[in-house]
Amino acid sequence: MATTVIRNMYLKALLFNILVLTIFIIPESAMAKGKGRIGNVHVAVIGKEIVVSADLTKGFNNDISRDIHNGIPKDFYYYILLKRKEKRWFDEEIRSKTVRYTVKYDTLKKDYLILLNDDGKVIEKHTSDIEEMKKIVSQIDQIPFAPAKVLGNSRRYYISVKSQMKAAKLPFYLEYFLFFIPFLEIDTPWADSSYIIPDSGK
């Protein structure tokens, strides 16, 4: 009986310590190591399609570059939202899209494989130059987003973009207790475009 009580007290103390670690320490260490930002968010209506472009700046720190060069694959996500400005309430989210870059380095061939996954359509690129790889991954260029008809005649629509990259796999003991916390190496703030002009490009 006494042994059971002691064991329960030990488990409660352990869980309390983990909770404290989660609340006060993990949020800071789990945040992006770099200070990546999204900029130059540009939206155009080309033909009958809305296309989106944006740049990721300061998306690569030494740890990320070293991991990739050592053959650890990395996934870079770009989240795109179409929003409508509301005067008296939160802006309404109309549509969303996720674009993913996957980077893999072949240490034998000394070749960077870059895969752009856009709604299941995969575009493959290769380069041996790390700076060129960074340039490719650090931008989305005229990504088709949605039919222009979703805009109607309103001029209150705009695009928001952010980028994330998950950290490498956690040690087992952290993964077991902290599975609910998103560990990120990149987590940019949202960046907004100017208002979309419905008849541009016509």
Q: What pTM was computed for the model? A: 0.75
Helices (H), 42-171: 62-69, 130-137
What pLDDT does 76 receive?
92
Those residues whose C-beta lies under 8 Å from the C-beta of residue 157, and which sit 6 or more positions away, are: 82, 83, 84, 85, 94, 151, 195, 196, 198
What pLDDT does 62 receive?
86
Residues 64 and 72: their CA atoms lie apart, in Å, by 9
pLDDT band per the 50, 70, 90 thresholds, residue 12: low
Residues 60 and 185: their CA atoms lie apart, in Å, by 9
Give per-residue burial for 160-199: e unless 16+ CB within 10 Å, then b. Answer: bbbbbbebeeeeeeeeebbeeeebbbbbbeebebeebebe
Tokens 């299941």, located at residue:
120
pLDDT in tens, 138-194: 999 999 999 999 887 777 899 999 998 875 554 444 444 444 444 567 789 999 999
What pLDDT does 181 receive?
44
End-to-end Cα spacing for the chain: 80
Residues 24 and 28: their CA atoms lie apart, in Å, by 8
- What does the DSSP 8-state code read for residue 31? S
Please give the average per-residue pLDDT across 68-95, as a whole number: 90
What is the torsion angle, in degrees rounded to the nearest 10, for the CA atoms of residue 16, residue 18, residue 19 and residue 20?
Answer: 90
Written as six digits, the tokens of 8 are: 């329960």
What pLDDT does 139 receive?
95
Assess contact for 103 and 73: CB atoms under 8 A. Answer: yes
pLDDT band per the 50, 70, 90 thresholds, residue 78: very high
pLDDT in tens, 102-114: 999 999 999 999 9
Assess contact for 99 and 38: CB atoms under 8 A. Answer: no
pLDDT in tens, 13-60: 555 555 445 444 444 434 444 578 999 999 999 888 999 999 999 888
What pLDDT does 186 receive?
78
